[in-house]
Chain A
Amino acid sequence: MSDTFEPRIVGFFCKWCTYAGADLAGTSRLQYPPNVLPIRVMCSSRVDPVFLITAYLRGADAVLIGGCHPGDCHYIEGNYYTRRRMAMMKTIFESLGLEPERLRLSWISASEGPRFASVITEYTENTRKKGPNPVKSKVFI
Chain B
Amino acid sequence: MVSGNKSSDSIDLKGAPLSLAEGARGALLSFLRETLDNGLLDALLIPMKVPAGDSYAWVLVKDKSLLEDANPFAPIMPVQGARALSSITKHGAPDLRIGAVLRPCEQRAAIELCKLKQLDMEKVVFITLDCPGVIPLKDWFSDPEKGETQFQQLLEKGDFLSPQMRPVCQICDKMSAPIDVDNATFPDIHFALLGVPENKGLLIPFSDIGNELLEKTGQALSSDTQTWQSKVKEINAQKCGKRKTAHEKLDKEISGPEKFPKAFAFCINCHNCMRVCPVCYCQKCYFDSEMLKHSADTYLERSMKKGSLWFKPDSLLFQIGRLSHMSLSCVSCGTCQDACPMDIIVGQVFAFSSDQTQQAFEYAAGRNLDETLPMRIYQEDKELPEVCSMCKDVLESGEDQ
**A residues touching B (Cβ–Cβ < 8 Å)?**
49-50, 53-54, 57-59, 69-71, 77, 80-81, 83-92, 94-100, 104-107, 115, 119, 134-136, 138-141
Least CB separation from B375: chain A residue = A84
Contact flags B252-288 to A (C-beta < 8 A → 1, else 0): 0011111111000100000000000000000000100
Known: A50-B321, A107-B400, A141-B316. A84 touches B378 (CB 8 A): yes
Report the Cα distance A86→B379, complex, angstroms. 14
Q: Is B185 an interface residue (CB 8 A)?
A: no
| B386 smallest CB distance to A (angstroms) | 7
Point out the residue from B353, B387, B397, B399 that lies within 8 Å of A84, measured CB to CB.
B387
| Given contact pairs A85-B375, A134-B258, A140 touches B310 in the complex (Cβ within 8 A) | yes
The reply to whether A53 and B317 form a contact with Cβ atoms under 8 Å apart is: yes
CB pair B387 A83 closer than 8 Å: yes
Question: Please, which residues of chain A bring their CB within 8 A of the CB of B400?
Answer: 69-70, 107
Would you give the 0/1 interface string for B200-215, flagging 1 where the beta carbon is closer than 8 Å to chain A? Answer: 0000000000000000
Residues of chain A within 8 A of B302, CB atoms compared: 58
CB atoms of A88 and B316 under 8 A apart: no
| B397 CB contacts on chain A under 8 angstroms | 106, 119
9 A–B contacts, CB within 8 A, in A order: A80-B380, A84-B378, A87-B360, A88-B360, A88-B374, A95-B357, A104-B394, A139-B307, A139-B308
Q: Are A106 and B316 in contact (CB under 8 A)?
A: no
Tell me which residues across on chain B come within 8 A of A100, comparing CB atoms: 390
Given that A59-B306, A97-B255, A97-B259 are contacting pairs, would A81 and B378 also be in contact in the complex, using a CB cutoff of 8 Å? yes
User: Do B391 and A105 touch (CB < 8 A)?
Assistant: yes
Q: A53-B321, A135-B257, A139-B308 known; A94 and B356 CB under 8 Å?
A: yes
Which of A57, A69, A80, A107 contacts B378, CB < 8 Å?
A: A80
Q: Which range contains the number of B residues in contact with the other chain?
A: 35 or more
Check if B179 is an interface residue, CB within 8 A of chain A. Answer: no
| Set of chain A residues within 8 Å of B310, measured between Cβ atoms | 139-141
Given A49-B321, A134-B257, A135-B257, A88 contacting B357 (CB threshold 8 A): yes
Q: Do A97 and B256 touch across chains, with their CB atoms under 8 A apart?
A: yes
Assess whether B324 is interfacial by the CB under 8 Å rule.
yes
A92 touches B265 (CB 8 A): no
Give CA–CA (A119, B384) in the complex, Å. Answer: 25
Q: Which residues of A contact B308 (CB under 8 A)?
A: 139
Q: Is the CB of B394 within 8 A of A107?
A: yes
Compute how far the CA of A87 lies from the CA of B246 in the bound complex, rounded to whole angstroms.
Answer: 25
> Is B323 in contact with A92, judged by CB distance below 8 angstroms?
yes
Say yes or no: A96 contacts B380, CB within 8 Å.
no
Report B18-33 CB contacts with A as 1/0, cut-off 8 Å.
0000000000000000
Task: Tell which of B260, B307, B320, B356 touches A91, judged by Cβ atoms closer than 8 Å.
Answer: B356
B394 and A96 form a contact (CB under 8 A): no
From the candidates B251, B328, B394, B401, name the one contacting A88 in the complex (CB within 8 A). B328
Q: In the complex the two chains form, is A87's CB within 8 Å of B387's CB?
A: yes
- Across the interface, do A57 and B317 meet the contact criterion of CB distance under 8 Å? yes
Cα–Cα distance between A58 and B313 once the two chains are bound (Å): 10
Using Cβ atoms and an 8 Å threshold, which residues of chain B touch A84?
Answer: 361, 374-375, 378, 383, 387
Minimal Cβ-Cβ distance residue in A for B389:
A87
B263 to chain A, nearest CB (A): 9
Q: Are A107 and B399 in contact (CB under 8 A)?
A: yes
Instruction: Contact check, A92 vs B394: say whether CB atoms are below 8 A apart.
Output: no
Among residues of B, the one whose C-beta sits closest to the C-beta of A134 is: B257
What's the least CB distance linking B273 to chain A, in Å?
A: 16
B24-46 at interface with A (beta carbon < 8 Å): none
Cα distance A2–B28 in the bound complex, in angstroms: 75
Distance between A137 CB and nearest chain B CB, rounded to angstroms? 9
CB neighbours of A54 from chain B (8 A): 317
B260 A92 Cβ-Cβ under 8 A: no
A91 with B360, Cβ < 8 A, contacts A54-B317, A83-B391, A136-B306 known: yes
B259 / chain A contacts, CB cutoff of 8 Å: 97
Query: CA of A58 to CA of B265 in the docked complex: distance in angstroms?
Result: 17
Chain A residue at minimal CB-CB distance from B250: A95
Report the Cα distance A89→B328, complex, angstroms.
11
Residues A53 and B324 in contact in the complex (CB < 8 Å), given A86-B391, A139-B310? yes
For B320, B349, B401, the residue with the greatest tally of chain A CB atoms inside 10 Å of its CB is B320
A138 near B356 with CB under 8 A, answer no
Q: Report the 7 A-B pairs with minimum CB-CB distance, sorted nearest first.
A: A97-B255, A80-B378, A97-B256, A87-B390, A49-B324, A87-B387, A134-B257
Cβ–Cβ contact B327 & A92, under 8 A:
yes
A50→B324 CA distance, assembly (Å): 8
Residue of A nearest to B309 (CB): A139
* Residue in B closest to A123 when the chains form the complex, CB atoms: B393
Minimal Cβ-Cβ distance residue in B for A49: B324
Query: A96 vs B317: C-alpha distance in the bound complex, in angstroms?
Result: 13
